[in-house]
Structure 1
């Protein structure tokens, strides 16, 4: 997918089986039990992420702690802080908790809410220059944190920001596009093309906002689902039915790379939209079962997040296999300080906060704290 900084300038054009190592449980854990190894990994990761928090509340790799200005935040700091906040919340640390971890999450949420200055259209990706990637990530975080603000003023501002952010996503979807690209999103609100990587964050945001009680027209979800399905690469018969029971999603409709990360993204996004038993869901889950990811492959951490959550939604052997592979690989790869660091060149420039946040989201499947990932 090219250089991470080139594609995203961290969120510019933006997911597992090593042999079991000593101390890891080789057999699949019981469905709803969280193993001691996973608990220990999660606790270390939480501690590491919180230690990266700056005085202003943002959670980033950079060592500088200069005071940001509202509307002109350090590059991608709101998007990265939102990703970290989702990772922390996914294992039970909410911004309204009185614990030290909860207080850190509250400071992170205030940084995003007070630091971003939405434009007149509700765009959240301008203040930290994270564009539509950041807009989707921040919007998803706000939707998941509704009801957990640390104070009334933050809650009120969250509500207004989220309403405007949802409207921006819907307006951006309605920009005139070709048939192939219709229903999706890309790097800017005005983009006339689409890709699955940017689109999935917007789909997740719309679904989460709807879950939180915000108005999201059915047409918006339906058009997004149709776009994602057009990215499913399989030969079909004369009736439009897939000829194979295992196939991948591509980066763009009818073309582009078919990878672990794009396939996992397509799988999860369709399921959060209620598409649990469509051919695209069944086929992509089967493809992932046959093509497990390796930690050194491109976009491993990004894909692992979608893989763990998407296969969990599928259930059965898909969920059990993905859980074992996710847990074994991530536990084996965790640094002694509790962090994870990307190994592939495409992700290295994103840094450890990015990788650790996504690893936490990948390991949090059975915690059930964030509504968007619940069955």
Structure 2
């Protein structure tokens, strides 16, 4: 059994690694402006990362934010073992691993942190030469699954013991579970089915998603819902199409409270759901982010430069498509 498990994990790692090397089409080059912004953004994150692997701004010590920063390096195709930013990636992952509760697998102090940290472990699995990642990822996935089982909505909210749910936390966990499955870990179909059913109950008649119910729909929440359905390959239903139609009308929208969180999800949702609309959105997003980027390479805002910069870079990362979670 041990040999069989080792062989299956090796195969998953191999396939995962191959996915990182898929070339872009010659007729689909990365815009030079994106390269410039990405280079400056990564240089900022590398320069201001502390020795523990986190950042010293308002949210930079949260493992979920560190996870997004790590994913930003990986999304640029950086070699995590020997490349320019290998030490930064290693430090970030080591910080995430240090924040995991060894008894139950919980990372950080909220399911937001846990979900984004799990996503980083899943994207690093098979790429980074660190034997601690596989067992940590398994524990993290098990924590997400056990939290869902305890939740009366069969979804997720702020803590593993929450009995209610919302679409932001639930979407975060679903994306992490899809990334873990892509990495080769077994995740029960039932977990996805129940999580998506909760998300569907929060979708209104106009296709928009609300926070804890079908009322009060918002573009950011709808982008999360569309991304989850896209990763599930469930694009044929009327609900999906109505949600995509809703997002098509929001190309000029900017979330006043969490602008870079919106950018992060909107880019992925449109990329998976509607390539033509994504092309238009991508052009707008490049112009918007190019004017908002600070001279030091970061993006400003009250959530902290590390979170803002990671969110901005990951909204541009669809131009590269190195990560498995970005594959259609």
Q: What is the TM-score with the length of structure 1 in the denominator?
A: 0.76
Which of 209, 228, 232 aligns to 2:180? It is: 209
Which of 84, 105, 110 aligns to 1:122? It is: 105
Aligned to 1:105: 89
Which of 72, 76, 85 aligns to 1:87? It is: 72
Aligned to 2:21: none
Unaligned runs of 5+ in 2: 1-25
Match status 1:368 vs 2:328: no
Unaligned runs of 5+ in 1: 1-29, 63-73, 235-245, 343-347
Counterparts of 2:79 and 2:99, CA distance in 1: 20
DSSP 3-state at the match of 2:319: coil
Match status 1:270 vs 2:253: no
Counterparts of 1:134 and 1:55, CA distance in 2: 20
Match status 1:37 vs 2:33: yes
Change (3 A) 1:278 1:52: farther
Change (3 A) 1:231 1:118: same
1:159-178 equivalences under 5 Å are 159-177=134-152
Which of 242, 245, 248 aligns to 2:208? It is: 248
DSSP 3-state at the match of 1:233: coil
CA-based RMSD of the aligned residues comes to 1.9
Match status 1:53 vs 2:49: yes
Could you tell me how far 1:368 is from its partner in structure 2?
1.3
Q: How many residues get paired?
A: 303
1:148-297 equivalences under 5 Å are 148-150=127-129, 155-177=130-152, 182-234=153-205, 246-255=206-215, 257-295=216-254, 297=256
For 1:164-198, what per-residue CA distance to the aligned partner results, in whole angstroms no more than 9, with x for missing partners?
Answer: 11111111111151xxxx23100011111000010
Change (3 A) 1:232 1:328: same
Could you tell me how far 1:357 is from its partner in structure 2?
0.1
User: Contact 1:293–1:300 (CA<8 Å) still a contact in 2?
Assistant: no
Aligned to 2:304: 351
User: Contact 1:94–1:106 (CA<8 Å) still a contact in 2?
Assistant: no
Counterparts of 1:271 and 1:60, CA distance in 2: 35
For 1:267-297, what per-residue CA distance to the aligned partner results, in whole angstroms no more than 9, with x for missing partners?
Answer: 1111112222322322122111112244462
Change (3 A) 1:124 1:316: closer
Match status 1:323 vs 2:282: yes
DSSP 3-state at the match of 2:85: helix
